[in-house]
């Protein structure tokens, strides 16, 4: 049966036909790295990991390229770096923050059973590609420089808004457009903006500045996947304005009818029926679910969280509940009752997945399987590999033993880091901080000049 995917661009489920079956190309917008990822952020990671695994199964592991970027230039990053690293030069503070957060993100999503993408490009390493695209847009009349900024001129693209299918009024409201005197049209959006001396910035034809968010994905997908590729994904909130603007930039720069053939969007996650928010106290980071007792009074194995996430069709909103996590755990324990060598996955499970990742149907099928080897093979296809013992004792082990780190080693590394920083050897200090993060240690540089640490996981 051919793979069918729901395409936001056409609002239809379509047969998937790759541009090149020898290199199927998938791009998913990745995290902005300034804080721990929350369980809502985990949804696109897990959903598109299942798609990545399915594509690898269908086309062969070597024939799928999955790009998920890291956004490491953003004004939220600048603010957080200045707050959390007082006294450290801003560019160094930004590096420490973004690199540390990226390491934590990778650990979190690995715990959820997700494979690393084929390429994980960082925005700051693609500034020249961004400048290249902006220059093409200016040359073709789709963008204009103004007061140190460069703006994309929305009226220059007749079918702007095709993905979100919104009226211009709705788009204006949705984009919460800033009225700036240098804009030709209120809908015009920023491709490049000027940086003050303190802010991170790169030399460009329009002066020292930094990119807007949307241009980053156009540049990284172009560099790693080409002018047109197969599938672009992300959460439903990204349809407008982010994806609409990515499309505008890439199509106008390269002159194609589409940027990607298929656009896929996961639904939003809410907690126990309510929007997840810090003020409601129902905001959970992935790390908290894996390591603390904040959700349901206990810690949860990553594959339990994965199954709880996959029980709902990916386009539907998901209600994240303790009850669903408990059910996912007992289901996994039952499925893992036998320690067997995995066989080829069940054709019924595959058929369900090929129907626009129909995971509820795939899971219903798993419940019917009687051969433990086929069950294990099907679970492996879906990214489940933990044994019964790993899952069964997880919370108790976390409480009993707790995380252990070698305190003497941590102190030695901190001393080395202090020396490196006094010598202004930022490369060494970054490396040491990375080592500490790998050890699961969170370092805090206090305002009074002292440094303290704690176990972060």
Smallest distance from ligand AMP to CB 89, Å: 26
CB-wise, 70 or 414, nearer to ligand AMP?
70
List the interface residues with ligand AMP, window 190-249 (CB under 6 A): 234-235, 237-238
234 vs 241, beta carbon nearer ligand AMP: 234
Listed ranges 19-27, 41-49, 115-123, 175-183: which one lies at the site for ligand AMP (CB under 6 A): 41-49
Query: Per-residue contact track with ligand AMP, 99 to 138, x per CB under 6 A?
Result: ----------------------------------------
97 touches ligand AMP by CB under 6 A: no
- Whichever of 112 and 217 has its CB closer to Zn ion, that residue is 217
Check binding of 269 to ligand AMP (CB under 6 A).
Answer: yes
Candidates 41, 98, 245, 249; binder of ligand AMP (CB under 6 A) is 41
Minimum Å gap between C-beta 364 and Zn ion is 33
Contact predicate 291/41, CB 8 Å: no
What b/e sequence results for 329-366 when a residue is b if at least 16 CB atoms lie within 10 Å of its CB, and e otherwise?
bebbeebbeeeeebeebbebbbebbbbbbbbebbbebb
The correct pick among 25, 43, 166, 214 for binding ligand AMP (CB under 6 A) is 43
Residues in CB range of 111: below 8 A, 6 or more apart? 286, 290, 302
Is residue 58 a contact point for Zn ion (CB under 5 A)? no
Residue 269, contacted partner among Zn ion, ligand AMP, none, CB below 5-8 A by kind:
ligand AMP
By CB under 6 A, is residue 276 in contact with ligand AMP?
A: yes
Tokens of 127: 């500034």
217 binds, among ligand AMP, Zn ion, none (CB under 5 to 8 A by kind): Zn ion
Among 29, 47, 51, 359, binds Zn ion (CB under 5 A): 29
Which one among 31, 113, 117, 201 touches ligand AMP, defined by CB under 6 A? 31
Residue closer to Zn ion, measured from CB, 248 or 414: 248
Q: Which one of ligand AMP, Zn ion, none interacts with residue 365, CB within 5 to 8 A by kind?
A: none
- Closest approach, Cβ 246 to Zn ion, in A, equals 6
Does residue 32 bind ligand AMP (CB under 6 A)?
A: yes
Q: Would strands 64-68 and 143-146 be described as parallel, antiparallel, or unpaired?
A: unpaired
Nearer to Zn ion, 238 or 456 (CB): 238
Please give the residue whose beta carbon sits closest to ligand AMP in the complex: 235
33 binds ligand AMP (CB under 6 A): no
Kindly state whether residue 123 participates in binding Zn ion, applying the rule CB under 5 A.
no
Under the binding rule (CB under 5 A), the answer on residue 217 touching Zn ion is yes
Shortest Å distance, C-beta 210 to ligand AMP: 17
Q: Is 324 in the site for ligand AMP (CB under 6 A)?
A: no
Query: With CB cut-offs between 5 and 8 Å by kind, which of Zn ion, ligand AMP, none does residue 426 bind?
Result: none
State the CB neighbour count (10 A cutoff) for residue 10: 12
**Contacts to Zn ion by CB under 5 A:** 29, 217
**Contacts to ligand AMP by CB under 6 A:** 29, 31-32, 40-41, 43-44, 234-235, 237-238, 266, 268-269, 276
């Amino acid at each position: 049966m051919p793979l069918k995917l729901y395409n936001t661009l056409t609002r239809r489920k379509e047969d998937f036909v790759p541009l090149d079956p020898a290199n199927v190309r998938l791009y998913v917008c990745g995290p902005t790295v300034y804080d721990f990822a929350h369980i809502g952020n985990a949804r696109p990671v897990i959903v598109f990991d299942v798609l990545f695994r399915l594509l690898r199964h269908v086309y062969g592991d070597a024939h799928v390229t999955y790009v998920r970027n890291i956004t490491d230039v953003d004004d939220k990053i600048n603010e957080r770096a200045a707050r959390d690293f007082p006294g450290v030069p801003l560019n160094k503070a930004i590096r420490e923050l973004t690199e540390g957060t990226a390491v934590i993100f990778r650990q979190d999503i690995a715990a959820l059973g997700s494979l690393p993408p084929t390429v994980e490009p960082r925005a700051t390493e693609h500034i020249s590609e961004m400048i290249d695209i902006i220059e093409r847009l200016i040359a073709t009349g789709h963008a204009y420089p103004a007061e140190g900024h460069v703006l994309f001129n929305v009226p220059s693209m007749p079918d702007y808004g095709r993905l979100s299918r919104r009226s211009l009024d709705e788009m204006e409201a949705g984009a919460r457009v800033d009225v700036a005197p240098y804009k030709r049209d209120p809908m015009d959006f920023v491709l490049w903006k000027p940086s003050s001396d303190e802010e991170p910035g790169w030399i460009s034809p329009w002066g020292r500045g930094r990119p807007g968010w949307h241009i980053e994905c156009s540049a990284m997908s172009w560099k790693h996947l080409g002018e047109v590729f197969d599938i672009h994904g992300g959460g439903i909130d990204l349809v407008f304005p982010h994806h609409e603007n990515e499309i505008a930039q890439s199509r106008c720069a390269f002159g194609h009818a589409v940027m990607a053939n298929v656009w896929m969007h996961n639904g939003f996650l809410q907690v126990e029926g309510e929007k997840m928010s810090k003020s409601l106290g129902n905001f959970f980071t992935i790390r908290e679910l894996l390591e603390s007792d904040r959700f349901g009074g206990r810690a949860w194995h990553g594959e339990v969280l994965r199954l709880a996430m996959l029980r709902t069709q990916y386009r539907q909103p998901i209600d994240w509940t303790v009850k669903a996590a408990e059910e996912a755990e007992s289901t996994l324990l039952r499925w893992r009752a036998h320690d067997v060598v995995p066989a080829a996955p069940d054709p019924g499970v595959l058929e369900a997945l090929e129907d626009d990742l129909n995971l509820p149907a795939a899971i219903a099928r798993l419940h019917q399987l009687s051969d433990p080897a086929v069950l294990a093979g099907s679970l492996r296809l879906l990214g489940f590999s933990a044994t019964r013992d790993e899952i069964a004792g997880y919370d108790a082990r976390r409480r009993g033993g707790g995380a252990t780190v070698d305190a003497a080693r941590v102190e030695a590394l901190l001393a080395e880091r202090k020396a490196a920083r006094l010598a202004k050897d930022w490369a060494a200090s970054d490396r040491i901080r990375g080592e500490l993060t790998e050890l699961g240690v969170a370092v805090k540089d206090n305002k009074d000049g002292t440094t303290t640490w704690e176990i972060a996981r």
